[in-house]
Amino acid sequence: MKGLLKYIGYRLLSSVVMVFIMVTLVFFLLRVLPGDPVQALTGGKAPPEVVRQLKEQLGLNLPIYKQYFRFFSDIFHGNLGNSIVTGESVKSELLERFPATLELALVSVILAAGGGIILGIESAKREGTLFDFIAKLVALSFYAIPIFFVGIVMQYIFGVKLGWFPISGRIDPLNEPDKVISGLYLLDTLLTRNFEGFVDALKHIVLPAFSLALVLFSVIYRITRGNMILQLKKEYVKAARARGLKERKVVYYHAFKNAFIPIFTLIGLQFASLLGGAILTENVFSWPGLGSYLIDRIGYRDFPAIQGAILFYAVIVVFISIGIDIICALINPKIKYE
């Protein structure tokens, strides 16, 4: 336990350094590479002296090192600056979008993990059979279709032709919860007993979540299958079977428990990466998440927004990966930490 605490301390410290490097890199890249927020904003229409004035207003005429110090002193005051495009505080813009991203990521990870793990285990049990072969072929095939294409086809079939699900957005604007509790509409609508809103939000999330889950599913399936095959060949499994334990218990409890850590780690990392925004899915379904925010603002060279989004994202990734490590350590105390 002491080792673990020390390890977490080390991880936290190095994470701060990592985030610092990341943000610094982005900061300088933005200013060195072509593209300028003022031009992007005025579309090249404003006369040169106006452009100069606007740059001055935004502090973009200062020497880079001064901008850099200003940026960091702002961060230490918990301030990410204001967006150049909208003038709103970047922090509030990010916080407004984060729940959308989180909700989509959660639902798709649950769907994908449910499907991927069960099929992976069943496949591993029947290693080398036709069932296994076909399951794997299906999983790899899902992976091989570009995700935006899956999304568009789903919109067309389930949205327009069959009319089952909405094809864009998080909820019908008129059903939008007035009170924001968690920002997760599925949760908020339930908490406020707004069942109509809940069903509406659920309907909206089906298509984007499923198309996102499809790709994730094949990744999770592969790692589950691989690790389960490894475990099922081990002595303790044979021993358990010999003791006359039910096959179901042997596989789903004993073997899976031992295969769990790599699977869990992978799911955790995939989840973290989804929190950066499932850019393509968000675009297809006009889902108002972090990924589309970042892309949008790159298109305007909105420096504060881009820096803020990257910082925010890096921090989330750090927390999740440390979280994964802690959970793994609690599950399996035998892991040693350097």
Q: Which of residues 245-304 bind another protein (CB under 8 A)?
A: 269, 272-274, 276-277, 279-280, 282-286, 288, 291-296, 298-301
Q: Which two tokens stand for residue 100?
A: 């959308």
Which listed range, 182-190, 226-234, 239-247, 328-336, lies at the site for another protein (CB under 8 A)?
226-234
Alpha-carbon gap, residue 261 to 265, rounded angstroms: 6
Query: Is there binding between residue 57 and another protein (CB under 8 A)?
Result: yes
Q: Are 291 and 278 in contact (CB under 8 A)?
A: yes
Cβ 200 to another protein shortest distance, Å: 5
Which residue among 69, 156, 236, 253 contacts another protein (CB under 8 A)? 156
Query: Is there binding between residue 1 and another protein (CB under 8 A)?
Result: no
| Nearer to another protein (CB atom), residue 43 or residue 244 | 43
Question: Residue 5's CB: how many other CB atoms inside 10 A?
Answer: 11
Query: Is there binding between residue 61 and another protein (CB under 8 A)?
Result: no
Q: Where in 169-208 is the site for another protein (CB under 8 A)?
A: 169-170, 172-176, 196, 199-200, 202-203, 206
Which residue among 62, 79, 226, 335 contacts another protein (CB under 8 A)? 226
Query: Is there binding between residue 74 and another protein (CB under 8 A)?
Result: no
Q: Are 299 and 77 in contact (CB under 8 A)?
A: no
Query: Is there binding between residue 168 and another protein (CB under 8 A)?
Result: yes
Alpha-carbon gap, residue 182 to 185, rounded angstroms: 8
| Nearer to another protein (CB atom), residue 229 or residue 250 | 229
The helix/strand count (H/E) of the chain reads as: 15, 0
Question: Residue 135's CB: how many other CB atoms inside 10 A?
Answer: 19
Which listed range, 64-72, 160-168, 182-190, 239-247, lies at the site for another protein (CB under 8 A)?
160-168
Q: Would you list the DSSP string of 170-212?
A: SS-GGG--SS-SSS-HHHHHHHTT-HHHHHHHHHHHHHHHHHH
Whole-angstrom CA distances from 228 to 27, 134, 259, 263 are 44, 18, 6, 10
Q: Write b or e for each residue in 165-192: b if 16 or more Cβ atoms lie within 10 A of its Cβ, otherwise e.
A: bbbebbbeeebbbeeeeebbbbbbbeee
Query: Is there binding between residue 119 and another protein (CB under 8 A)?
Result: yes
Nearest alpha-carbon partner for 101 in 269, 279, 266, 314: 279
Q: Which two tokens stand for residue 332?
A: 């399996």
Cβ 244 to another protein shortest distance, Å: 28
Query: Is there binding between residue 155 and another protein (CB under 8 A)?
Result: yes
Alpha-carbon gap, residue 291 to 312, rounded angstroms: 12
Cβ 186 to another protein shortest distance, Å: 13
Place of tokens 């850019």: 279
Which listed range, 1-9, 68-76, 108-116, 259-267, lies at the site for another protein (CB under 8 A)?
108-116
| Nearer to another protein (CB atom), residue 124 or residue 244 | 124
Query: Is there binding between residue 164 and another protein (CB under 8 A)?
Result: yes
Query: Is there binding between residue 60 and another protein (CB under 8 A)?
Result: no
Q: Where in 131-150 is the site for another protein (CB under 8 A)?
A: 132-133, 136-137, 140-141, 143-149
Q: Are 81 and 188 in contact (CB under 8 A)?
A: no
Alpha-carbon gap, residue 74 to 58, rounded angstroms: 14
Query: Is there binding between residue 53 and another protein (CB under 8 A)?
Result: yes
Q: Where in 3-42 is the site for another protein (CB under 8 A)?
A: 14, 17-19, 21-22, 29, 33-37, 39-42
Binding residues for another protein, total number by CB under 8 A: 115
| Nearer to another protein (CB atom), residue 29 or residue 333 | 29
